[in-house]
Amino acid sequence: MDLTAQSERVSTTGRDGEWWRGAVIYQIYPRSFFDSNGDGIGDLPGITARLDYVASLGVDAIWLSPFFTSPMRDFGYDVSDYRGVDPIFGTLEDFDALMDRAHALGLKVLIDQVYAHTSDEHAWFLESRSSRSNAKADWYVWADAKPDGSPPSNWQSVFTGPAWTWDARRGQYYMHNFLPSQPQLNVHNGEVQEALLDTVRFWFDRGVDGMRLDAVNFMMHDPALTDNPPVRDGVGRRTRPFDFQHHYYNQSHADIPAFLERIRALTDSYEGRFLVAEVGGEQAQDEMKVYTRPPARLHSAYGFLYLYAEALRADLVREAVALWPDDERTGWPSWTFSNHDAPRAVSRWADEEMRKPFADMALLLLLAMRGNVILYQGEELGLPQAVVPFERLQDPEAIANWPQTLGRDGARTPIPWKRSAAHGGFSAAEPWLPVDARHFDLAVDAQENDPESTLNHARRLVRLREAHPVLRTGDMAVREGGDPEVLVFERGRGDEALLCVFNLAPEAKAWTLPAGWRVIDQVNLTGADKGLPPYAGLIAKRG
């Protein structure tokens, strides 16, 4: 794989102050990107070794999922040292080398930060649980049992059942929205806020360009420990106790925005830094707007509107556009179709025999939308959701809810670099998750020299977005009417406007390019005057 010619890509955005607005961000899941030392787990030097490839995609930035010191019960989202690199990934010096190489290639670097909870092995929690009177006694959410010994409230955790675990040292329950090994920080506490802000300073001082803030709406709870109301019968799919409640009180407290303003003020003291939040749950659409309200809160946010959608429909895109109007009170959106927490979109939204045309069309659609684009590793290869046998599952959520949910492991399997190599060239050893047999033919080297490969479509389409500023930051207006499986929208206005058209169905649709428009790029199109083939997409301009 020779990417030397592209290895010194220099950013041409000219927008260092707001480089992130409309940017394409490539998410890297470090455990599964590239293993440099043959232990079956991806690492920071492995990422550095493959940054030329990432730069060849034309993206603006990389986002690294957690690489911090952790017992890995939730694969890094249970942090035991916010400022350390876990030995399985390397060292702080390895991170510095990665960042230096990324910057040399014109790539910004974002890191994941988890401020709602820590690992139960974090030094803060070890001290907090030691007594009710120590200096960090109030750094986590502790509460007495009810008179009958039951937990303080009816709150349920995302993964396992009750959101409370008894701790005999303190003679109290501690709260955890996720695993029992992920105790909830008491972010209402001013000292906790200062400690988290010190962590922000540490990484910005080290040169990172931005942060993705995990589970932002889980940062603060209702101190009164009010019970959550039940979801009325027959609403939604229930695979976990968590699904039986409205989560009004264990999360989403009204004081969260004030803390986000403190993070933003600190971030603004550094030049060109960027903050994007992950916000999930039933109130996410409103919360994202609250958390990103200009000018003092986060720059952007993304939710699970697409990540958990069972089908890609025109009305879904219309709903997404309506959520983020271009006005002074609304922040800037970020969009992703796939990530480490959801089954890959190509498997959720298309049948296997239509995987390739759908993957190409979905890339064009994602890159044509207003907002930031977050491209998950392997999406540019058109990877389907991997099949992971039960005995190889690693994800605690997948194991707990098997076989009712697909879990997250199938989206976290190793990237295939070489079609004919053992383990797809990811590692010399058996990987921590197996490489799906279907992924070998989609390896990077198998697609590299094929102009019609999904990989080379992705490169071309990222360049298209860069070449037309209206695709990065212009208006977006969805046209009403017509076939519900044909999505039509415009980006920008007047002579600079672009017309974007997508057939979201696996069968052909009748459609004619309006007079005065000409196609400038397309996927799966055989001629706009002959209708739209299955999963066809095009972008046209006037003239």
What does the pLDDT read at residue 527? 66
pLDDT higher at 160 or 522: 522
pLDDT higher at 491 or 232: 491
Domains 4-117+190-466 and 474-542 share a fold: no
66 contacts 77 by C-beta, under 8 angstroms: yes
Task: Tell me the three state secondary structure of residue 63.
Answer: strand
Confidence of residue 6 (pLDDT cuts 50, 70, 90): very low
Query: For domain 474-542, which architecture applies?
Result: Sandwich (2.60)
C-beta neighbour count of 499 within 10 angstroms = 22
Confidence of residue 2 (pLDDT cuts 50, 70, 90): very low
Q: CA 440, CA 419: separation in Å to the nearest integer? A: 5
pLDDT digits (tens, 9 = 90+) for 308-351: 999 999 999 999 999 999 999 999 999 999 999 999 999 999 99
C-beta neighbour count of 219 within 10 angstroms = 27
CB contact set of 86 (below 8 Å; sequence gap of 6+): 67, 68, 69, 70, 72, 76
Mean pLDDT (the chain) is 93
For the four alpha carbons of 131, 135, 138 and 140, in that order, the dihedral sign comes to negative
Residue for token pair 């400022």: 83
Q: Which of 112, 214, 380, 409 is catalytic?
A: 214
Confidence of residue 7 (pLDDT cuts 50, 70, 90): very low
**Mean pLDDT confidence for 239-257:** 94
Does the active-site annotation cover 205?
Answer: no
For 176, the token pair is 């955890």
Does the active-site annotation cover 278?
Answer: yes
What does the pLDDT read at residue 11? 36
Q: Which of 278, 287, 436, 466 is catalytic?
A: 278
pLDDT digits (tens, 9 = 90+) for 371-429: 999 999 999 999 999 999 999 989 887 787 777 666 799 999 999 999 999 999 999 99
Query: For domain 4-117+190-466, which architecture applies?
Result: Alpha-Beta Barrel (3.20)
Cα radius of gyration (the chain): 23
Backbone φ/ψ region at 225: left (φ over 0), alpha (ψ -120 to 50), beta: left
**Mean pLDDT confidence for 280-295:** 95
**Mean pLDDT confidence for 219-246:** 88
Confidence of residue 235 (pLDDT cuts 50, 70, 90): low
Residue 239: closest CA among 342, 160, 338, 343: 160
What does the pLDDT read at residue 5? 33
pLDDT digits (tens, 9 = 90+) for 429-466: 999 999 999 999 999 999 999 999 999 999 999 999 99
**Mean pLDDT confidence for 164-186:** 97
What does the pLDDT read at residue 402? 77
Angle, nearest 10°, between helix axes 284-291 and 314-323? 40
Q: Using alpha carbons only, what angle is made at residue 384 by residues 95 and 48, rounded to the nearest 5 degrees?
A: 15
pTM: 0.95
Domain boundaries, the chain: 4-117+190-466, 474-542
pLDDT digits (tens, 9 = 90+) for 12-24: 333 456 999 999 9
Is the pLDDT reported for residue 216 higher than 90? yes
For 284, the token pair is 């996410």
